[in-house]
Amino acid sequence: MNTQIRRVAFAVLLMFAAVFLKLNWIQLVRAEELANHPSNTRLLLKEYAIARGAILTSDNQILAQSKKTPQGELKYLRLYEQGPLFAHITGYYSVRFGRTGIERAFNSELVGKGGVITIQDLGDRLTSEGERGDDVVLSIDSRMQQAAAQALGSRRGAVVALEPSSGRIIAMYSSPNFDPNPLSQHSADGQKQAWQSLNADAAKPLLSRATGSIYAPGSTFKLVTAAAALESGRGPDTTFGDAKEYLPPQTDKPMGNFGGSTCGGDMAQALKVSCNTYFARLGAELPRGALEKTARAFGFGERPPLETTVAASRLPTGEQLKSPAFAAQSAIGQFDVAATPLQMALVAAGIGNGGNVPEPRLVIEVRDSRGKVIDQVDSKIWRQAVSSQTADTLKQMMIAVVEDGTGQAAAIGGVAIAGKTGTAQVGATGEDNLAWFVAFAPADSPKIALAVVVEGAGDPRSETGGRLAAPIAKKVLEAHRGVAGW
């Protein structure tokens, strides 16, 4: 009997010890994490007593602001003036589903807890105004965002445009999108219905295709392959004979050109017509590790240091790239290569910026309730991808693509555009194919770099990056020329 009592007592002590450890783990170790979790309803209720700061564009358009409600437990209602147009950037602020986007990344500033307290802040807290958060100003230009949305239209895909020298993102649009207002409403049932409807939508409107989806970049990745060759000592005069197919070593599956065409020549000629056989052979013959090294120098395999959530672009492993067949497929942006539109815009920006890839930014400054700037975000170089000489050589090749190659649909009279088309075959049907275009302009003094991707491009024999994505890019470039005056 005593033995059984001791066993029961020991078991009870173990259970008490487990509960004690669990409570201490929650209260001491995870306390701060849980307190600041975006889904913490108690924290959100406390925040709803504060006049949350506004989110504005660089041209002072209000994207999000809080309005006082006449009654109820929640004192302020978050309103999104522009609805879906900026939804993937601002995110939403919901008492039931937490925060996303800028609402999450800059929550401390928006509720006035960002670490800088001004005299005006103290004055507000002592008067009937109560607490008020700071305003967050984005690098996004509302005119450019509207231009990107209109250019893409009803197609699924994304447009990302940024300043090559500073990394400031001036447009970042994803389609389809969503209206964040139903998620921020005070009705619990209304929020739930909106959430369920958005998540049930097969088109995934909550997903930012600009930063959250990775796609096979197709022939736009040939820029990286060409860069790897140039950085490895291959000259732009590297020439391969005309070919309709290329059979990589260690495989019995030949690789062909678009439309069954025959092409070859030097590197510039091959890039101009986007010759698969040339770049597949070039990739297979590169020194071991060269393609991976250059791709990583442009940022592949990492998450770009943006303020909001970004997916990491993908590369095959170094072991996989030892296979000439896999290296050949990767060199034309297929196999296991995948990139976000933001990543491909950074590739274009890096080439246009003399080989230096800028650190992408969405926020340029924080202002207090009186409009005084209390914090500014400096421009930074994220990494040096290639030498200035390599960048200049690539630029000249990209100019030829637009002037006399596959990217002519992006040409603008009187200005040199540097670009590259891409068409990626994904799956067995055209529904999954992708049309790409990346560019920077003006070529000799870039003010904008961009990437366009269109999902479900259709038949790759006719619906190419040059025919679908390049005209979209042209509209965005023309809009920026009107706004920036280049």
- Which positions are annotated as active-site residues? 219
| Residue 339 DSSP one-character state | B
Tokens of 42: 């108690």
Quick one: tokens of 472? 């979209």
Alpha helices in 95-158 (DSSP H): 101-105, 107-110, 119-126, 142-152
Give residue 410's Cα distance to chain centre. Answer: 22
What CA–CA distance (Å, rounded) separates 46 from 39?
13
The three-class DSSP label of residue 329 is: helix
Q: Which of 157, 185, 177, 11 is nearest to 82 (CA)?
A: 177
- How far CA 25 is from CA of 18, 35, 39, 40, 125, in Å, comes to 10, 14, 19, 18, 35
Q: For residue 19, report the phi and psi dihedrals to the nearest 5 degrees.
A: -65, -45
| Cβ neighbourhood burial of 151 (10 Å; 0-12, 13-18, 19+) | buried
**Do 184 and 94 meet the contact criterion of CB atoms below 8 Å apart?**
yes
CB under 8 Å, gap of 24 or more: what pairs does 195-199 form? 195/96, 195/97
Q: Of 156, 177, 465, 153, whose CA–CA distance to 332 is shortest?
A: 465
Cα 130 from Cα 121, distance rounded (Å): 9
H/E segment holding residue 192: helix 188-200
Q: In the chain, what's the furthest Cα-to-Cα distance?
A: 99
How many residues does the structure list for the chain? 486
Q: What is the DSSP letter of 410?
A: G
- Give dist(CA 431, CA 459) in Å, integer: 8
> DSSP 3-state assignment of 385?
coil
Closest CA to 179 of 107, 76, 96, 90: 90
Rounded distance, CA 118 to CA 53, Å?
A: 14
